[in-house]
Every structure is written in structure tokens, then in C-alpha cells.
């Protein structure tokens, strides 16, 4: 019976994005798309699961956290197609990145699963749009909405691509922002980055 409630499974899904003076990625610009923007900063320090988090670093200008999680909308057929094409993060050629934090409104979260799926894919073709830029654009989605403390966004998406695919990436974000799904977005910030060592 003796039962520690803390799990011995470490949290292997946590991602953290710290904007400040340090980090491998230089912040090129920070643009509000909907709602309040984020402050600009010089660099972004991206912490993937398993990374040792800095304990003595200066307080970042802002810090966003999320967890990778199970598939919310993707079907098996879509996942099979995605897995066949999606590239890893960290490619040497992928020196461009975007961090796009998004919050959806209460009306979205009040929808049921079938209603959200119908808007996201059957009518807005979100998954298909992401697939159309594979394998050029690598993507990692993390969720913030169900963290234990209030968060400014519901999810964060991180994209990496080579400069020659910048036009395809711009087309992707423009396409998505014109969809029915995006009518439920009440805060969105677009942070663009370039990889440079210091």
C-alpha cells in the first residue's frame, strides 16, 4: 500500500521557450496577429524535453511552456500519411523558425469533439494544409491549456524550415489564418527566428 503520490515517471513532454538575452535562436521579429502581442527580445532559448533547464540564468523577458501530448484530431490514416513525410527538428539546413502561440475563445472550447473536428479539418483543412508543406517544414505542437496554472495561450507551435522554403511557410500561415477555424482564435503572436550561435 505505501504510495508516494508523486510519480516516478519524469515529465518527458515539457517544452519551454524563453525570450531574453541568450539562446541559439535570434528573434527576427515579434508580430501580433490577434490580441495582445509579446515583448520583443534579442534571443530565444528553446528547451526540449530532456534538456537541462538553466537554474542561474537571468529572468527571461517572457517564458512560454507547453507539453506535447496525444493526437487531438488526427485520424490513423492522416497520421500514417504524416509519419511518412514529416521531417525531424534540428536539421542543419533549417535555419529559419517560427514560434506561434495561439489562444482560442470560449466558443471553441464549448464545442464538442465532432464539432471541433468538423471545423478544423473537414471545413478548414488544417491537417491537409500542414501536410502540403512536408517535408519542407518541421513542426512541433505543444499544449498549455491544461497546465495547472493559468496560461496566456492554449498551444504553441514551433516550426523549422530552410530559407528556400520561407515562401511555402508564409503561404501556409496565410491559408490557415483565412479559415473558419481561425475565427475562434482570440490571441495569436507570430515570432520569427534565425539560428545563429553566439
Q: Which residues bind a copy of itself (CB under 8 A)?
A: 1-3, 5-7, 9-11, 14, 32, 36-40, 62-65, 67, 69-76, 78-79, 109-117, 143, 145-152
Q: Which is nearer to a copy of itself, 133 or 189 (CB)?
A: 189
Q: Give me the least distance between CB of 133 and a copy of itself, in Å please.
A: 21
The answer to whether 42 touches 21, Cβ cutoff 8 Å, is: yes
The tally of CA atoms less than 13 A away on the side-chain side of residue 81 is 13
Angstrom distance (rounded) from CA 15 to CA 30: 20
Q: Which is nearer to a copy of itself, 53 or 168 (CB)?
A: 53
Q: Give me the least distance between CB of 17 and a copy of itself, in Å please.
A: 10
Q: Is 61 helix (H, G, I), strand (E, B) or coil?
A: coil
Q: Which is nearer to a copy of itself, 69 or 85 (CB)?
A: 69
Q: Give me the least distance between CB of 48 and a copy of itself, in Å please.
A: 15
Q: Give me the least distance between CB of 161 and a copy of itself, in Å please.
A: 25
Q: Give me the least distance between CB of 176 and a copy of itself, in Å please.
A: 19
Q: Which is nearer to a copy of itself, 136 or 144 (CB)?
A: 144
Kindly state the cell numbers that stand for 42: 534579442
DSSP string, 17-54: EEEES-SSEEEEEEEEEES------SEEEEE-TTPPPP
Q: Which is nearer to a copy of itself, 6 or 197 (CB)?
A: 6
Name which of 30, 61, 46, 18 is nearest 189 in CA terms: 30
Amino acid at each position: 500500500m505505501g504510495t508516494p503520490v508523486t510519480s516516478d515517471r519524469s515529465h518527458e513532454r515539457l517544452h519551454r521557450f524563453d525570450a531574453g538575452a541568450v539562446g541559439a535562436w535570434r528573434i527576427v521579429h515579434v508580430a501580433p496577429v490577434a490580441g495582445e502581442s509579446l515583448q520583443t527580445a534579442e534571443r530565444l532559448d528553446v528547451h526540449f524535453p530532456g534538456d537541462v533547464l538553466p537554474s542561474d540564468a537571468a529572468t527571461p523577458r517572457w517564458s512560454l511552456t507547453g507539453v506535447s501530448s496525444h493526437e487531438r484530431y488526427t485520424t490513423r490514416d492522416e497520421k500514417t500519411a504524416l509519419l511518412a513525410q514529416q521531417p525531424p527538428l534540428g536539421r542543419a539546413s533549417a535555419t529559419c523558425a517560427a514560434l506561434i502561440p495561439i489562444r482560442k475563445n470560449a466558443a471553441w472550447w464549448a464545442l464538442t469533439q465532432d464539432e471541433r473536428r468538423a471545423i478544423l479539418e473537414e471545413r478548414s483543412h488544417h491537417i491537409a494544409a500542414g501536410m502540403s508543406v512536408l517535408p519542407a517544414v518541421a513542426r512541433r505542437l505543444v499544449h498549455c491549456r491544461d497546465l495547472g496554472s493559468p496560461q496566456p495561450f492554449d498551444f504553441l507551435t514551433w516550426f523549422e524550415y530552410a530559407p528556400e522554403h520561407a515562401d511555402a511557410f508564409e503561404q501556409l500561415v496565410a491559408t490557415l489564418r483565412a479559415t473558419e477555424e481561425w475565427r475562434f482564435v482570440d490571441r495569436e503572436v507570430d515570432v520569427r527566428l534565425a539560428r545563429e550561435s553566439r
